[in-house]
Structure 1
Amino acid sequence: MKLNKLVVALAAAGAVTSLSPVVLAQNGAIEEVVVSGIRSSLETSAAIKRNSGEVVESITAEDVGKLPDPNVAETLTRIPGVQGYRYGGEGASPVGEGSGLTVRGLSGQTASRLNGRTYFTAGGREFNIESAIPGMIAGIDVFKNPSAKHVEGGIGGLINIRTRRPFDLDERVISGSATARYNDFVGEVKPEVFGLYSERWDLEGGGELGFLFAGTQQKSHNRSDSTPSNTGASLRRAVRADSAEYAGLSAADQSYAGRTDIWRLVDAKAGDNPSDLIATTSQNAHVFQEDIKRDRRGFNTAVQWAPHDDFELYVEGNYNYYKYEQDYRFLIMSDSRTVQDLQTELFDTTEAWVDRNANGGENEVLAQHALTSGTFLDSTFNAQSGKEDRPYETWLVATGFDWNVSDRLNVKTDISYVKADQTQDNRSVTLRPKAGNTWDITRNLKGSPHNISIAGPSVADAGNFVFFDYGNGTNQVFDDSGYAIQTDFEYKLDGFFNALLFGARFATQESNYHNYSYGGRALTTDGLPLRADQSNAISAADFAQLTELAPRDWVRNKTDFAGGYLVVKPSVLHGSAVRDSFPLAGIQANGSLAENVTSRRWAQEDTLAAYVMGEFATENERVRGNIGVRVIDADVSTRAMVIDASGGTSQIVAQNASTSNVDVLPSLNITIDLQDDLLLRFGYSKGITRPNLGAISPTISVDQTTGKGGAGNPNLKPLEADSYDISLERYFSPTSYAAIAVFNKDIDGFINSVESCETVSIAPAYTGVIDNYCSGGQYMISRQMNSESGYARGVELSAQTFFDFLPGIWSNFGVSGSYTHVKTENPILREGRIVNVPQAFQSDDSYSVAGMYENGGLSARVVYTWRSDFILFGVAATPAVGRYIKAYGVLDASVNYDLSDNYKLTLTASNLTDSAPSRYVGEPGAVTTGFQNQYYVNGRNFSVGISASF
């Protein structure tokens, strides 16, 4: 253990650098900034930006409370360099992982902090910021190039959420609010309530005691309708029904032979002429309807005791609960190959698009047409419904002190504990058409969304469907915890260096993962898989109490097909209703699920960090800054459960691994006052992002038939980045400024999947007949490796002002805005070649523009946020199977009115343009296409609330 090292380190070092809502004055002193009104919030953010010794952007409590955002993830997209992801009508993290934010072109690379402390969601290193509620927050800081005093962990940047403490408020504050939220697509109102009590007492002898408690609950119900379709080139050749070739096709329906309006689509083969081939990309669009319900709850409490002005002791706690609940109703299409009235258009399917021109030769055209419309005769589909519950809980408790030992020496110590849990439970039931039922599905791919019409038996009639199977496809539990002890010293000096800061921190994080997923439980008369003739089928009509119809206004009736199809009710899937109705299916009872032991993993990471940093300034303080270095020693222990077949019989055994790593992270920040109102900044720092604990599991599995396998990599190293910043800032008034920043991050250690021949100790030598391109009984093993270098670089523009210089009513208006241009290079290994592609979730261009009004008790904002195309989730093997989100913008607005000194009315509207992040096939840049992969409708959100403060 490193705890012994820590005792030695703390003897020479000390405390947490509190990221509190303060502003550094020109002389290095700390100025508290009181926020009241939009003007004051602009003044606060400008002061923080101007006087900070680092590259930082901040949003104050006034901003957080007055922006029309249901969560903090959306609020942060107002900051230059920050891009957000929306899903289900709100700012969200991709599939519930990470923060969902891209900072300066890097996603999944931000460090999450709560009051300066490490804060994470179970299963990862980042905090799922979509779960945070604006009402609970005092402010947010985004450090884009953190100095040595900050806890390491994110090459993209550091996001610090600040909560309230009693000494930050007046002697007594009692406040509360009630809000009603409405989504116009769902047509349902959901509540939000918030309450805060804070009290400060003067004690005998001059001391002071403070107590604060704040609690909140917010519910929302959004809807997400979409049209997911196939990716890939899917090259076909059309054979008309009146041809001799058609008559010779065994799979073709010969009842159509001789017709000139019918074609059979056959797979392309070597030697086909490109002029005869058709790309059927995005042809097979499905019908998806999802209800997305979110429940956010939390509380924050703090006690502060200051027996005198030079010492403060505190205890505080924070609880965050977030439940993501998704009820889905899918009609999963399976188009036939028989097409009536087939229509195509000219489109060149190239090697670059299909396989990144893997052969390295000329970028040849493989097909010259793309399908645009047709009726797919005798098609079929499955009706699948499901319910996913994903509750998250994160607790943080902390205690510490802040002691001015003398006029020169300050000591801070902080001890914290984090407990985080996450459960993912996704269950579904599939219905299949009754034997003999088929439908004619007409598609037109030229519109947005693709038009779909369905002709055939009623999709609402339970007699036309039978039960197929039940699955619990995702049932996993993450159980993480960690604690940290941190102590810092600050010693004031005379001369060019005016302060020396140094400190040490020991932290440990433990992660446990368990998997209980299973599937394939047949819902039939005998519990066996559904037979082809459906002789063991159970009609959906026999269990009418389990079924319902999907909504009849799918995608706001923008296609000929409007929904209303039969599905099993999502609401019955997490109870025992399906299990009780199908006793032969073998559905496991809740609370007694069998664990998939080979998926179990455990990891523990211990880190010991120490830093030293000097703050400096010239005599007139026109040049000032800091220089420092942070050194981190990390020890990681991991364990996985694997199948050991080396002795001839298979048994599950534990496989352990341990690694150590030392990182040295220097930093330098310099600010120069070119004029009293004109600043030039330079910043440099080295940062790291450690791989997720799940990625370094020592798991390994092989297939003795194919001679291939996959493995984790406990030896993965952190990504490293050398970050450079240069910015110029001009301040016109306390509320007005304009700034330009240029940044560059040189990144080393990007992770790629690499295949290599290995001898596997837990498996017998490979003797299969399939050539795996290895010899000596070795297996071809795929594992992630640190490999190539890349970059993220760009420019940021930002400005804000109120028009105080204009006469009359015009002086009540103001504007603010930001623009970011960023380019990234993310090298990936494909077909043995390194291919440079952008980072996932990174838009080349994004901007946010706000118009503001404030006069007396009335204030209002209108905000438009836009971003260009970006890759979804991760870079695909080829652009043809990749997906990107096309450029889109969102318009939000809010109005606040002071009913009296104590009461305030708030109105908000989010996504007034009813925009949604629709998906397309390809990659941004040279391989974008017009193939719409998934059109979305999410609806608009409105709220009305009243708050009181005394």
Structure 2
Amino acid sequence: MIIKYKKLSAAIAAYTSLMAMSATTFAQEAVSEEKKKDAAQLEEVQVTGMRQSLETSVAIKKNTMEIVDSITAEDIGKLPDPNVAETLTRIPGVQGYRYGGEGASPFGEGSGLTIRGLSGQTASRVDGRAYFTAGGREFNIEGAIPGMIAGVDVYKNPSAEHIEGGIGGLVNVKTRKPLDFDERTFNVAVSNRYNDLSEGNSPEFFGLYADRWQTDFGEMGLMIAGNYQESHNRSDSDPVFARGPQLRRAISADSAEYADLVTAGEVDAAYLGRSDISYLTEANYADYSEEERANLITALGQTKQAFQEDINRVRKGANVAFEWRPSDTLELYATANYNYYLYDQEYRFMVFGSGIGGDSRYVQDLSTVDYTFDESFMNRNSNGGANELVAGQRLASGTFLGVSGLETWGGHEDHPYETWNTAFGGEWQATEKLDVKFDVSYIQATQEADNRKVAFVPRSGVTWDVTRNLMSEPHDLAISGPSLSDPSNFVLNYFDNNRNQKWEDDGWATQVDFKYQMDLPLIEDIKFGARYATQSASYRNFFHWGKRLTTDGERLAEDQSNAISADSLAGMLDVSPTNWLDGRAGYSGGYVVYDPLELEGNRVRNLFPQAGIPLDGEQEEHLLDRRYSEEDSLAAYFVADFAYGDIIKGNAGVRVVQTDLYARAMIVDPNDEIVPNEEGTSYIDVLPSLNVTGYIDEDTLVRFGYAKGISRPSLSALNPVVRVDPQTGAGSVGNPDLRPFEADSFDVSLEKYFSGANYVSLGVFYKDIDGFHNSERTCRSISAFPTHESPDNGCPANQYSVSRTINAEKGMARGVELAFQTFFDYDFLPEALNNFGVSGSYTILDTENPVKMNDEIVEMPMPFQSDTSWSLSGMYEDDFMSARVVYTYRSEFANNNDAWPSWGVYTEGYGILDASMNFNITEDLALSMNASNLTNEAPDRYAGDPRDYDSNFLLQHFVNGRVFGAGLRYSF
């Protein structure tokens, strides 16, 4: 497709976003002096659309001195992704997660991204500025709107000129600028997505206006853009609450032992003599011989719940940017960005409780299979000695009779994030050799989380028989008995507002940068600068729970004499969908719950005044949870760019950062008063970096990179809280003196570039990490509590035995990254293949995370790190249409690291298939169609850990559904 560059913006606008369908994309944006040269060259490229976006990304990768992978906005628009987090998983070394139909963390909050195996260790930047979501140090990129973004760069090993803060890597989100546009541009788009599980529609609207003009005062440009996006998805699952050994011993109802228990009044006499009924009693394996343990049963994974969640997301964004070039040597700008992200969850849960109390102890047609459950899997053989058998049987199936221990929950979580960012600055060419840049920015961020639910329990005497098959995936479930959808079978139990939290953060930053061209044989130029930044963060907690929904506001009586029947709540009830887990589990839903939408505001309080529910907005704050911090940082850097002809290029530099922290927590003093506890700390980090690129020829590069980086502790980890018990002389304290993780990172890569977007690269990396957190117990005096009453806490008189988190251990991350991309436009191939292409990436990762378990240090993988991940994409583009199919896979990974593997959780490997097509109906009008998760896959969770204790105990099976979308975009 050949058009002149002056029409570039209009041509690119003809391509519609494939999932978010919101991005008009513009490939050229300079993010550093080096990239300005690249952009000038790219303006001469006479192709548009998908291929140009890929060529732009490849040019950035090739010409940047650091280890970087880039995605331009057109590339985001050409991938079937509703959020940027999913797009980034196409980059080697970046692994993601999908929760509720979109890219998010396994907890439903946050991006869920890991770079090079290091979860939560990513620095987030917007246009090179530090950017954060309230309550943390990173930007929740899940909330970013693709339509508001010009591109994303992922730096794997940042140099000294970049703001410090992430040992995993740095993600820089680039926004559009008005002078990037060649002419006045209007762009509007409308689209819709449909989830086949939730059967919900998700509209999106996007608009952009940009113009530039010449005045007597120089050239000016203005851009205004806005975006509104809804996302209505669903997540069905069957989680297990009770983990660990869950040991049982079966007693047949026709045995003498059962008869003795009947005589003692400990079991139901109605089952006496029945050979098809077994009674499951809890068992302690230490009480049995090795031979007897062979008949013990592990019921791990038994008590599955029924969870159905409607996950609604809203993204709203606005961007205003003004640029002014009074002369060829001076450019000034001012920008304002607004980002709103709402995570809204309506949930309907049927909960059978936990452990043996969740189901009946009486099981009909009990079936078990042989299984070796040993001490190693139970607790890493922490008892020492031989690895003894714990249980020789695994519960396979059975019908649990007379189950009454279930609840149904109707709940609603409202979780909005709001972020404002303003900035002004400029670039000035002071002399032919000296360039000066300055930038001043302010960010204000808030976050709230409000989770509330109402629980129903069965009416007295109502029971069900529950049949479970633990050998199928998902586990088969059948429930027989009174109708679960009939509210007359249930009574109200309680109201919880168990999550009601508020975060308020803000920060200022001022930065000045200088670049001076040198007339030296090896040194091309030097760059130096300074930055001062401050971030304040506050947290408050207002949760309350256990508000009894009974006639007298007291706990539900055993005889339910004070019960309120659920069928008295006309208009306040809901029934869960009847296609739960897409029908894969036998039972398909249809249980009654309190309507999640009726939980908002004061509706429950007004309906049940006797429950003592506080007025919404006037809930009592839990003062001991309140915390506040201020963190100031002052940094200076120096970088020298060097070259030896056309053979070697690179840079070497150092960044020095001083960090000052003030932290305040609330504690209880000896007079039982809540008072503030204030502490401060200060430290300096010296962060050198070196990047060298060797040119075997113009298009064959060998790179070496070294950088020392840091990741500061989370703000909550620095809270100087003090919790001690004067009765026992024990307690715990926070540690505001925690230091950042430090990583010495090494990279070596070989890259070969062909024509246009075609390239292949192979890289290896190693990170030596110091400062991992572990707990220690020490004796220390607590000024707020000078004495205690315990004579034998193991410490000197009046000192407390306290635990706290410290920097203690070393770990590492290492890996191999392969990436390739090509269109089949080589001279030796048939011309019919020229419009087809393929791209892919493959990553191998290995990490060591030292974790204290059973008083020993155990080397574990980093949470959420897969050993392998890969993506493969097929592409097609001509003048009329473009298409892409992308498959992304990651291997199993640990969700947590537990001292007892039987309590651990890992996610099995899974792959996602996405596809999209775009049609240029006219030069100004484009149609897009896309599909996400075509194979309807979701990440299932198992007991254990993926390295040493890879079990087949399924803990939670997920179904999220497929998403299909279509949209129109018009540009003029």
The one-letter amino acid paired with 1:786 is N
Q: Does the Cα contact within 8 Å between 2:103 and 2:111 map onto a contact in 1?
A: no
Structure 1 residue 300: Cα displacement? 1.0
Q: Does 1:379 align with 2:395?
A: no
- Residue of structure 1 in register with 2:870 after alignment: 847
1:226-265 equivalences in 2 (<5 Å): 226-229=237-240, 230-249=242-261, 250-265=265-280
Q: Give the corresponding residue for 1:461.
A: 486
Judged with a 3 Å threshold, the aligned counterparts in structure 2 of structure 1 residues 23 and 634 are, in CA distance, closer, same or farther, namely closer
CA RMSD of aligned residues (A): 1.8
For residue 671 of structure 1, the aligned residue among 693, 704, 711 is 693
- The alpha-carbon distance between structure 1 residues 201 and 797, as it changes in their structure 2 partners (threshold 3 A), is same
- Verify the 8 A CA contact 1:224 1:292 in the aligned structure 2: yes
Letter of the 1:624 partner, please give it: K
Change beyond 3 A, Cα 1:332–1:323: same
Distance 1:29 1:284, change over 3 A: closer
Alignment of 1:360-439 (within 5 A): 360-380=384-404, 381-439=406-464
1:266 has 2:278 as partner? no
Decide whether aligned partners of structure 1 residues 26 and 603 sit closer, same or farther in structure 2, where only a CA change above 3 A counts: closer
Tell me if structure 1 keeps the 8 A contact 2:110–2:142. no
User: Cα distance 1:704–1:541, how it changes in 2: closer, same or farther (>3 A)?
Assistant: farther
2:775 to 738, 750, 753: 753
Residue 96 of structure 1 deviates from its aligned partner by: 5.5
Residue 24 of structure 1: how far off its partner (Å): 3.5
TM-score, normalised to structure 1, is 0.95
Partner of 1:523: 549
Q: Residue 99 of structure 1 contacts residue 126 of structure 1 at CA under 8 Å; is this kept in 2? A: no
Shift of 1:98: 4.6
Q: Is the 8 A contact 2:99 2:108 kept in 1?
A: no
1:682 is aligned to 704
Aligned-pair identity in percent equals 52
- Separation in 2 of the partners of 1:906 and 1:757? 65
Secondary structure of 1:449 counterpart: coil
Who is 2:808 aligned against?
787
Q: After superposition, where does 1:694-733 map in structure 2 within 5 Å?
A: 694-704=716-726, 708-733=730-755
Please state if 1:216 is matched with 2:227: yes
Tell me the amino acid that sits aligned with residue 523 of structure 2.
Answer: F
Which one of 650, 661, 664 corresponds to residue 683 of structure 2?
661
- Which of 479, 482, 490 lines up with 2:515 in the alignment? 490
Q: Deviations over 1:44-75 (max 9, x none)?
A: 11111111100000001110111000000001
Distance 1:83 1:297 in 2: 26
Please identify, of 540-549 and 626-635, the stretch whose mean Cα deviation from structure 2 is larger.
540-549
- Among 39, 47, 54, the alignment partner of 2:66 is 54
Q: 2:317 aligns with which of 281, 286, 298?
A: 298
Gaps of at least 5 residues in structure 1 are 1-17
Match of 2:164 in 1: 152
Mapping for residues 536-935 of structure 1, pairs under 5 Å: 536-618=562-644, 620-644=645-669, 646=670, 649-704=671-726, 708-763=730-785, 765-767=787-789, 776=797, 778-805=799-826, 806-872=829-895, 874-935=896-957
The letter for the 2-side match of 1:377 is L
1:306 corresponds to which letter in structure 2? Answer: R
Q: CA deviation at 1:359?
A: 3.2
Q: Which residue of 1 aligns with 2:349?
A: 330
How much has 1:370 moved relative to structure 2?
Answer: 1.0
Question: Which stretch shifts more, 175-184 or 603-612?
Answer: 175-184
**CA 1:775–1:243 in 2, change beyond 3 Å: closer, same or farther?**
farther
Alpha-carbon separation, structure 1, partners of 2:71 and 2:179? 20
CA drift of 1:543 comes to: 1.4
CA contact 1:23–1:52 (8 Å) conserved in 2? no
Question: Are the counterparts in 2 of residues 54 and 146 from structure 1 also a CA contact under 8 Å?
Answer: yes
Aligned partners of 1:780, 1:861: CA distance in 2, in Å?
A: 61
Asked whether the equivalents of residues 98 and 125 of structure 1 are also in contact (C-alpha less than 8 Å), the reply is no
* Structure 2 match to 1:513: 539
Given residue 240 of structure 1, which amino acid in structure 2 is its aligned partner? S
DSSP-derived class of the 2:87 partner: helix
Given candidates 34, 42, 45, the residue that maps to 1:24 is 34
Q: How far is the alpha carbon of 1:876 from its aligned partner?
A: 2.2
1:521 CA displacement: 0.5
Partner of 2:374: 350
- Alpha-carbon separation, structure 2, partners of 1:606 and 1:514: 22
Structure-2 separation of matches of 1:556 and 1:750: 42
Alignment CA distance shift 1:461-1:777 (3 Å): farther
Shift of 1:292: 0.3
The whole-number CA distance in structure 2 between the counterparts of 1:568 and 1:442 is 26
Residue 191 (1) aligns with residue 203 (2): yes
Give CA deviations for 1:597-623 in whole Å, capped at 9, x if unaligned: 1111000000000000000001x2210
* Aligned 8 A contact 1:24 1:31 in 2: no
- Is the 8 Å Cα contact of residues 19 and 116 (structure 1) preserved in structure 2? no
Match of residue 5 from structure 1:
none
SS class of match (2:564): coil
Q: Deviations over 1:228-257 (max 9, x none)?
A: 013211111111112222223353222212
Shift of 1:712: 1.6
- Counterparts in 2 of 1:29 and 1:591: CA distance versus 1, 3 Å: closer
User: Helix, strand or coil for the counterpart of 1:247?
Assistant: helix
Alignment CA distance shift 1:392-1:96 (3 Å): farther
2-structure distance, mates of 1:212, 1:371: 64
Shift of 1:28: 8.6
Instruction: Give SS of 2:287's match.
Output: coil
* CA deviations over 1:326-372 (Å, ceiling 9, x no partner): 00111001112221111111211122211122234333221111111
Moved more, 211-220 or 745-754: 745-754
Give, in whole Å, the separation in 1 of the partners of 2:875 and 2:659. 48
Quick check: 1:99–1:108 contact (8 Å CA) kept in 2?
A: no
Unpaired stretches in structure 2, ≥5 consecutive residues? 1-27, 353-357
Distance 1:185 1:734 in 2: 41
1:93 Cα deviation (Å)? 3.1
What is the CA–CA distance in structure 1 between the aligned matches of 2:877 and 2:42, rounded to whole Å? 23
- Matched residue, 1:15: none
CA contact (8 A) 1:23 1:30 kept: no
Q: Is the 8 A contact 2:209 2:223 kept in 1?
A: yes
Structure 2 distance, partners of 1:385, 1:755, is 42
Cα distance in structure 2, aligned partners of 1:829 and 1:810 = 56
Code of the residue aligned with 2:480 in structure 1: it is A
Q: CA deviation at 1:582?
A: 0.7
- Aligned partners of 1:19, 1:61: CA distance in 2, in Å? 10
Deviation at 1:376, TM superposition (A): 1.1
TM-score, normalization: structure 2?
0.93
User: Equivalent residue for 2:336?
Assistant: 317
**Aligned partners of 2:38 and 2:60 also within 8 Å:** no
- Please state whether the residue corresponding to 1:556 is helix, strand or coil: helix
